[in-house]
Amino acid sequence: MYPQIITYLLTFIKFQEQIIRTLLTLLIGKSMFDKPKDQQPVNKPYRKLQVDDLPIIEIPEKLNYRNLLTEYQEKHGKSLKPVRRHKNAKVSVPKGMKCPKCGAPSDYLYANNGDKGQYQCKVCSCLFSDKNRFSKEAILKCPHCSKTLDKIKERKDFDVFKCKNDDCPYYQKKLNGMSSKEKKQFKKDPQSFKLRYIFRQFHIDFQPLSKNSPELPVVDLSRIYASPHTLGLILTYHVNYGLSARRTAAIMQDVHGVAISHQTILNYENSVALLLKPYVDHYPYELSDQFCGDETYIRVNGKWHYLFFFFDAVKKIVLSYRVSPNRDTASAIQAINDVLLKMEEIPENLTFVVDGNPIYLLAQHFFAQNDISFDVKQVIGLTNEDPISTEYRPLKQIIERLNRTFKGNYRSTQGFGSDHGSVSFVTLFAAYFNFLRPHASLEGKVPVVNPKLSGLPTMPARWTKLIELAQRWIVEQRSA
């Protein structure tokens, strides 16, 4: 009896399932129950970012309409009269408008082409429109055909200008160099090819190489309850060995008999980082000529942030350790600027080895617009598919090892609860890596050799001495 009922119910359930599928298909228009077919991932390579040469920048000539009026009177023996308006004119010149070239008031301006928005100055004969009279502080021209560039896009940090001249030698060379297959693809998808000259004009409010005075904190570590040796022990466990604040508190209690909370350890970390940061950032490092950079992930307030490392590959010195919520051009510019500020003078053959992220090429273009030149070598992918990757991959692997070393120390934190906490931890890591951590490729020496630190027998003593050196340096800077 029971097996027959179960069989009947199963049959009825299958019938209901078929009705539900049919109704859903009629409502949606396609079946939602078909098994997905095995699909190969789309292998569509990214178009590599190409940065062109700087454009021809033409600064419009600025004149003074009063001087021009005086010259006119001396030459013709009479004064230049303002424009005489017709009473029934359909278009009038706004009273507050001035000529962008000589500054003549609206009394000397014609409505040159009716209601189309073009004006002409009677004093200097300048033609302009209401839209470009304020924005055109400089005229950008293509370096290949000398035609004026057109603004086509506005991005967060820059505006994109393009040469739309079909007779431009740059465009014609690119077009004629395409194969028949590429020309067919170009007709279907023109966005996948770059044929025209493009220039990016940055509007980032940032001055490169602006050597501002270091921010000197007011932190008095003498008021903390822990002794200097205890503070050195805490930093050794927390920074050198990558123990979390809770584990550091536990080992201080279990091994050394010092009762301390994990929050107190974090407070010590923030205070010491405030003292060490100006010392680490403004130390007179002796640098080589091989620099590499990369970015890695850290978690702040439950969101992924980016840590930009720049590194002296020979001296093993961390030169930039900037934390940013964005992986953008502005962050790359500031990270590279951290390196440039540590150089007495910028060498002619300066080169940075980075990954394939286009933000570094854009940063290079930004510095070029500010008369600061360097080369960028991009190592792309995991295999050497081009000569540049083959030649410079060893430097890229060096910065990757730095990332792994940092990850080993960072992993126990499981992220940070604030931006300030992330910056403090990264600052202490940079101080430890540069001044306290022996390196195998340096024959067991630290990257920055300081006799006052190397002569001490234990790591807690070196941390204490490093803090003392930073405090003394801050006092000297204040009294200077």
Per-residue pLDDT reduced to its tens digit, 138-157: 788 999 999 989 888 888 88
Q: Which H/E stretch holds residue 464? A: helix 459-479
Which pLDDT does position 15 carry in this prediction? 83
pLDDT digits 0-9 by tens, 415-471: 888 888 899 999 999 999 999 999 988 988 999 998 889 889 899 999 999 999 998
* Residue 201 pLDDT greater than 50, yes or no: yes
Pairing of strands 118-121, 291-300: unpaired
The answer as to CATH 3.40.630.30 being correct for domain 278-479 is: no
pTM value is 0.73
Look at 26-35, 52-61, 229-238, 342-351 and tell me which has the smallest mean pLDDT: 26-35
Q: How confident is residue 57, by pLDDT bands cut at 50, 70 and 90?
A: confident
- CA-CA distance, 476 to 480, in Å (whole number)? 6
Q: Which residue has the tokens 């930004």?
A: 366
Contact in structure between 336 and 293 (CB atoms under 8 Å): yes
Query: Which letter does DSSP use for residue 290 in this model?
Result: -
Phi and psi, residue 376, nearest 5°: -125, 120
Which pLDDT does position 233 carry in this prediction? 94
- Which long-range contacts does 257-263 make (Cβ < 8 Å, 24+ apart)? 258/226, 258/230, 260/226, 260/234
For the chain, give every residue range classified as CATH 3.30.420.10: 278-479
The CA distances from residue 299 to 241, 248, 296, 302, in Å, are 20, 21, 10, 6
Instruction: Spell out the alpha helix ranges (H) of 255-358.
Output: 262-281, 329-341
Q: How confident is residue 317, by pLDDT bands cut at 50, 70 and 90?
A: very high
Angle at which helices 359-369 and 329-341 pack, to 10 degrees?
60
Contact in structure between 447 and 434 (CB atoms under 8 Å): yes
* Residue 394 pLDDT greater than 80, yes or no: yes
Contact in structure between 380 and 355 (CB atoms under 8 Å): yes
The CA distances from residue 220 to 163, 176, 430, in Å, are 59, 69, 22
The CA distances from residue 224 to 221, 265, 267, in Å, are 6, 11, 10
